[in-house]
Amino acid sequence: MATPHIEAEKGDFAKTVLMPGDPLRAKFIAEQYLKRVRQVNGVRGMLGYTGRYKGKEVSVMASGMGVPSIGIYSYELFRFYDVDNIIRVGTAGAVRDDLHIGDVVLAMSAATNTNFAAQYRLPGVAAPTADFSLLMTAYEAAQRLQKTVHVGSVFTSDVFYDDADSLKSWQKIGILATEMECAALYLTAARLGKRALTICTISDCPLTGESSSAQERQTAFRDMMEIGLQTAVEMD
Protein backbone atom coordinates (compact mmCIF):
# COMPACT_ATOMS: atom_id res chain seq x y z
CA MET A 1 0.00 0.00 0.00
CA ALA A 2 2.04 2.89 -1.31
CA THR A 3 1.66 6.37 0.17
CA PRO A 4 2.36 9.63 -1.70
CA HIS A 5 6.01 9.45 -0.57
CA ILE A 6 6.78 5.78 0.10
CA GLU A 7 6.40 2.98 -2.46
CA ALA A 8 6.84 0.08 -0.02
CA GLU A 9 4.17 -2.52 0.61
CA LYS A 10 2.64 -3.31 3.98
CA GLY A 11 5.11 -5.42 5.94
CA ASP A 12 8.18 -4.11 4.12
CA PHE A 13 9.31 -2.10 7.15
CA ALA A 14 10.46 -3.53 10.48
CA LYS A 15 8.90 -2.36 13.73
CA THR A 16 11.96 -0.18 14.35
CA VAL A 17 13.30 2.22 11.72
CA LEU A 18 16.57 4.12 11.95
CA MET A 19 16.11 7.47 10.24
CA PRO A 20 19.08 9.54 9.09
CA GLY A 21 18.44 12.73 7.18
CA ASP A 22 20.83 11.87 4.35
CA PRO A 23 19.73 9.12 1.92
CA LEU A 24 23.38 8.20 1.39
CA ARG A 25 23.80 7.65 5.14
CA ALA A 26 20.79 5.32 5.00
CA LYS A 27 22.47 3.45 2.15
CA PHE A 28 25.76 3.29 4.08
CA ILE A 29 24.08 1.88 7.21
CA ALA A 30 22.21 -0.72 5.17
CA GLU A 31 25.28 -1.86 3.26
CA GLN A 32 27.71 -1.81 6.18
CA TYR A 33 25.57 -3.26 8.96
CA LEU A 34 22.50 -5.12 7.68
CA LYS A 35 22.38 -8.66 6.31
CA ARG A 36 19.88 -9.96 3.75
CA VAL A 37 19.16 -6.33 2.99
CA ARG A 38 16.65 -5.20 0.40
CA GLN A 39 15.65 -1.75 -0.82
CA VAL A 40 12.03 -0.93 0.00
CA ASN A 41 11.81 2.73 -1.03
CA GLY A 42 13.34 5.04 -3.60
CA VAL A 43 10.65 7.65 -4.17
CA ARG A 44 12.22 11.11 -4.57
CA GLY A 45 15.59 9.50 -3.81
CA MET A 46 14.58 8.97 -0.18
CA LEU A 47 16.24 5.58 0.13
CA GLY A 48 14.81 2.97 2.49
CA TYR A 49 16.06 -0.52 3.30
CA THR A 50 15.11 -3.48 5.46
CA GLY A 51 17.49 -6.22 6.58
CA ARG A 52 18.67 -8.08 9.65
CA TYR A 53 21.05 -6.94 12.38
CA LYS A 54 22.16 -9.51 14.95
CA GLY A 55 19.28 -11.71 13.87
CA LYS A 56 16.54 -9.07 14.20
CA GLU A 57 14.73 -7.29 11.38
CA VAL A 58 15.60 -3.58 11.25
CA SER A 59 14.83 -0.89 8.69
CA VAL A 60 16.63 2.32 7.81
CA MET A 61 15.18 5.14 5.73
CA ALA A 62 16.14 8.75 5.12
CA SER A 63 13.97 11.62 6.33
CA GLY A 64 15.38 14.50 4.33
CA MET A 65 16.14 17.85 5.95
CA GLY A 66 13.92 19.86 8.25
CA VAL A 67 10.69 19.64 10.19
CA PRO A 68 8.25 19.34 7.25
CA SER A 69 10.19 16.48 5.68
CA ILE A 70 10.60 14.31 8.78
CA GLY A 71 7.03 15.16 9.72
CA ILE A 72 5.79 13.58 6.48
CA TYR A 73 7.97 10.46 6.53
CA SER A 74 7.60 9.67 10.22
CA TYR A 75 3.80 10.09 10.01
CA GLU A 76 3.53 7.73 7.05
CA LEU A 77 5.78 5.12 8.68
CA PHE A 78 3.90 5.23 11.98
CA ARG A 79 0.40 5.55 10.52
CA PHE A 80 0.45 3.37 7.41
CA TYR A 81 3.30 0.90 7.89
CA ASP A 82 2.76 -0.09 11.52
CA VAL A 83 6.21 1.11 12.61
CA ASP A 84 6.42 1.36 16.40
CA ASN A 85 9.83 2.99 16.92
CA ILE A 86 11.75 5.58 14.93
CA ILE A 87 15.31 6.38 15.95
CA ARG A 88 16.68 9.46 14.24
CA VAL A 89 20.43 9.12 13.61
CA GLY A 90 21.47 12.54 12.42
CA THR A 91 23.95 15.34 12.79
CA ALA A 92 23.82 18.44 14.96
CA GLY A 93 25.75 21.59 15.71
CA ALA A 94 27.29 21.94 19.15
CA VAL A 95 25.83 24.61 21.40
CA ARG A 96 27.42 23.69 24.73
CA ASP A 97 31.12 24.53 24.93
CA ASP A 98 32.31 21.08 25.98
CA LEU A 99 30.91 19.31 22.92
CA HIS A 100 33.16 18.64 19.93
CA ILE A 101 32.98 17.01 16.51
CA GLY A 102 32.21 13.31 16.81
CA ASP A 103 30.52 13.53 20.22
CA VAL A 104 27.16 11.74 20.48
CA VAL A 105 24.03 13.32 21.95
CA LEU A 106 20.86 11.53 23.09
CA ALA A 107 18.06 14.08 22.85
CA MET A 108 15.86 13.79 25.93
CA SER A 109 13.72 16.72 24.78
CA ALA A 110 13.65 19.41 22.10
CA ALA A 111 13.17 23.13 22.42
CA THR A 112 12.09 24.59 19.09
CA ASN A 113 11.14 27.64 17.07
CA THR A 114 8.96 25.63 14.69
CA ASN A 115 5.19 26.07 14.54
CA PHE A 116 4.66 22.35 13.84
CA ALA A 117 2.56 21.76 16.96
CA ALA A 118 0.00 24.39 15.92
CA GLN A 119 -1.82 21.70 13.92
CA TYR A 120 -2.90 20.07 17.21
CA ARG A 121 -4.63 23.25 18.47
CA LEU A 122 -3.36 22.75 21.99
CA PRO A 123 -4.37 25.23 24.71
CA GLY A 124 -0.71 25.74 25.63
CA VAL A 125 2.86 24.97 24.57
CA ALA A 126 3.84 21.37 23.77
CA ALA A 127 7.02 19.83 25.22
CA PRO A 128 8.47 17.41 22.61
CA THR A 129 10.08 14.54 24.54
CA ALA A 130 11.79 11.26 23.72
CA ASP A 131 10.24 7.95 24.64
CA PHE A 132 11.82 6.95 27.94
CA SER A 133 12.18 3.25 27.09
CA LEU A 134 14.06 4.07 23.89
CA LEU A 135 16.20 6.66 25.66
CA MET A 136 17.14 4.32 28.49
CA THR A 137 17.81 1.43 26.13
CA ALA A 138 20.08 3.61 23.99
CA TYR A 139 21.92 4.95 27.02
CA GLU A 140 22.53 1.48 28.43
CA ALA A 141 23.55 0.17 25.00
CA ALA A 142 26.11 2.98 24.73
CA GLN A 143 27.57 2.04 28.10
CA ARG A 144 27.95 -1.60 27.09
CA LEU A 145 29.50 -0.58 23.76
CA GLN A 146 31.85 1.73 25.70
CA LYS A 147 30.72 4.78 23.77
CA THR A 148 30.43 8.13 25.52
CA VAL A 149 27.11 9.93 25.13
CA HIS A 150 25.71 13.24 26.38
CA VAL A 151 22.04 13.27 27.41
CA GLY A 152 19.94 16.43 27.46
CA SER A 153 17.92 18.90 25.42
CA VAL A 154 18.50 19.94 21.84
CA PHE A 155 17.14 22.89 19.87
CA THR A 156 15.16 22.10 16.71
CA SER A 157 15.34 25.06 14.37
CA ASP A 158 13.50 25.88 11.16
CA VAL A 159 16.46 28.08 10.19
CA PHE A 160 19.89 26.83 9.13
CA TYR A 161 21.41 30.21 8.27
CA ASP A 162 20.23 32.24 11.26
CA ASP A 163 20.51 36.01 10.95
CA ALA A 164 20.72 36.46 14.71
CA ASP A 165 23.19 34.97 17.18
CA SER A 166 20.47 32.98 18.88
CA LEU A 167 22.56 29.94 19.84
CA LYS A 168 24.23 31.83 22.68
CA SER A 169 20.78 32.45 24.14
CA TRP A 170 19.94 28.74 24.01
CA GLN A 171 23.31 27.99 25.55
CA LYS A 172 22.21 29.88 28.66
CA ILE A 173 19.60 27.24 29.50
CA GLY A 174 21.81 24.23 28.86
CA ILE A 175 20.84 23.25 25.31
CA LEU A 176 23.41 20.73 24.08
CA ALA A 177 23.11 21.06 20.31
CA THR A 178 21.03 22.41 17.46
CA GLU A 179 19.44 20.40 14.64
CA MET A 180 16.37 20.55 12.42
CA GLU A 181 14.12 17.50 12.92
CA CYS A 182 13.85 16.22 16.49
CA ALA A 183 10.84 18.21 17.73
CA ALA A 184 8.66 17.20 14.78
CA LEU A 185 9.58 13.54 15.20
CA TYR A 186 8.75 13.59 18.92
CA LEU A 187 5.46 15.40 18.39
CA THR A 188 4.38 13.04 15.62
CA ALA A 189 5.21 10.00 17.73
CA ALA A 190 3.32 11.40 20.71
CA ARG A 191 0.25 12.21 18.61
CA LEU A 192 0.13 8.70 17.16
CA GLY A 193 0.97 6.85 20.37
CA LYS A 194 4.34 5.67 19.05
CA ARG A 195 7.94 5.88 20.29
CA ALA A 196 10.80 8.04 19.05
CA LEU A 197 14.36 8.94 19.94
CA THR A 198 16.97 11.20 18.40
CA ILE A 199 20.64 10.24 18.46
CA CYS A 200 22.86 12.93 16.96
CA THR A 201 26.56 13.24 16.25
CA ILE A 202 28.16 16.66 16.48
CA SER A 203 29.21 17.55 12.94
CA ASP A 204 30.07 21.20 13.46
CA CYS A 205 30.49 23.81 16.16
CA PRO A 206 28.79 27.02 14.97
CA LEU A 207 30.08 29.09 17.87
CA THR A 208 33.73 28.19 17.17
CA GLY A 209 33.72 27.54 13.42
CA GLU A 210 34.84 23.91 13.74
CA SER A 211 33.27 21.68 11.06
CA SER A 212 33.40 18.27 9.38
CA SER A 213 33.31 17.30 5.70
CA ALA A 214 30.29 15.97 3.80
CA GLN A 215 32.02 12.59 3.52
CA GLU A 216 32.56 12.44 7.28
CA ARG A 217 28.90 13.28 7.91
CA GLN A 218 27.83 10.50 5.56
CA THR A 219 30.07 7.64 6.69
CA ALA A 220 32.35 8.43 9.64
CA PHE A 221 29.89 8.87 12.50
CA ARG A 222 29.59 5.17 13.31
CA ASP A 223 29.08 5.45 17.10
CA MET A 224 25.51 6.76 16.74
CA MET A 225 24.76 4.17 14.05
CA GLU A 226 25.89 1.32 16.27
CA ILE A 227 24.04 2.66 19.33
CA GLY A 228 20.90 3.05 17.23
CA LEU A 229 21.17 -0.45 15.79
CA GLN A 230 21.79 -2.01 19.20
CA THR A 231 18.78 -0.12 20.58
CA ALA A 232 16.64 -1.48 17.74
CA VAL A 233 17.75 -5.03 18.56
CA GLU A 234 16.85 -4.65 22.24
CA MET A 235 13.40 -3.11 21.75
CA ASP A 236 10.42 -5.48 21.82
Bridge partners of 17, per DSSP, are 59, 86
> For position 163, what pLDDT does the model report?
73
What region does 136 belong to: left with phi over 0, alpha with psi -120 to 50, or beta? alpha
pLDDT at 218 over 80: no
Q: How far is CA 65 from the centre of its chain?
A: 11
pLDDT one-digit tens code per residue, 26-68: 999 999 999 999 999 999 999 999 999 999 999 999 999 999 9
For 57-116, give the DSSP string. Answer: EEEEE---SSHHHHHHHHHHHHHHS---EEEEEEEEEE-STT--TT-EEEEEEEEE---G
Give ∠ CA 191-197-203 in degrees, rounded to 5.
Answer: 130
Q: Are strands 195-205 and 104-112 parallel, antiparallel or unpaired?
A: antiparallel
pLDDT one-digit tens code per residue, 121-163: 999 999 999 999 999 999 999 999 999 999 999 999 999 988 7
> For position 220, what pLDDT does the model report?
67
pLDDT one-digit tens code per residue, 177-214: 999 999 999 999 999 999 999 999 999 988 888 887 87
6: Cβ–Cβ under 8 A, 6 or more apart, which residues?
41, 43, 46, 48, 61, 73, 76, 77, 80, 81
CB 95 within 8 A of CB 165: no
Residues taking part in catalysis = 204
pLDDT at 1 over 80: no
Structural domains in the chain plus CATH codes: 16-234 (3.40.50.1580)
